Structure 1
Amino acid sequence: MDKGTIIRTVALVIAWANMALTNYGLQPIPVVSEDFIAMILAGAVTVWTWFKNNYITWKGKQQKEVLQKNYLTK
């Protein structure tokens, strides 16, 4: 795993943990204090991790084709 994958994963876990804690009326991790900000953060991190870890852009699709031609991915 590269550094970016680890950072995105940690950010995603923190965002969703805060969302879950807030929904159950528990004290969230003090990264964000407002519910609205927590929802925006969770949504942004979710889109960011999904976008970065999938081949959805034109450049990403080209990269996937190269990987497949060289038998580096399924």
Structure 2
Amino acid sequence: MDKASVTRFTLLTIAVINAVLNMIGYRTIPDDMANDIVAVVSGIFAIYAAWKNNYLSKKGRKQKEVLDKHGLS
């Protein structure tokens, strides 16, 4: 497993544990704090996805040039 897979698995595990604890009545963190955390994490993932899915970096621009050169874009 690569680093990204381990990170996703860990975050998912924490989220599931938190959801189960909330279902049985044990509040691990307040609801407003949980909403704030979700908003921040979602924003980070959105920015990361936008960066990775566009040709903004030097590597991405080189990839775009290769695609254009071979008529694949």
Number of matched pairs: 43
TM-score (norm 2): 0.53
How far residue 63 of structure 1 moved from its aligned partner, in angstroms, is 0.6
Q: Once superposed, what is the RMSD of the aligned Cα atoms? A: 1.9
Choose between structure 1 and 2: higher helix proportion. Answer: 2
Match of 1:38 in 2: 38
**Structure 1 runs of 4+ with >4 Å offset:** none
Q: Which runs of 5+ in 1 are unaligned?
A: 1-29
Secondary structure class of the residue paired with 1:60:
helix
Q: Which runs of 5+ in 2 are unaligned?
A: 1-18, 20-30
TM-score (norm 1): 0.52
Matches for 1:1-74 after TM superposition, within 5 Å: 30=19, 34-73=34-73
Look up the equivalent residue of 1:66 and give its one-letter code. V
Larger radius of gyration: 2
How far residue 72 of structure 1 moved from its aligned partner, in angstroms, is 0.6
How far residue 48 of structure 1 moved from its aligned partner, in angstroms, is 1.3
Relative contact order, higher structure (CA 8 A, sep 6+): 1
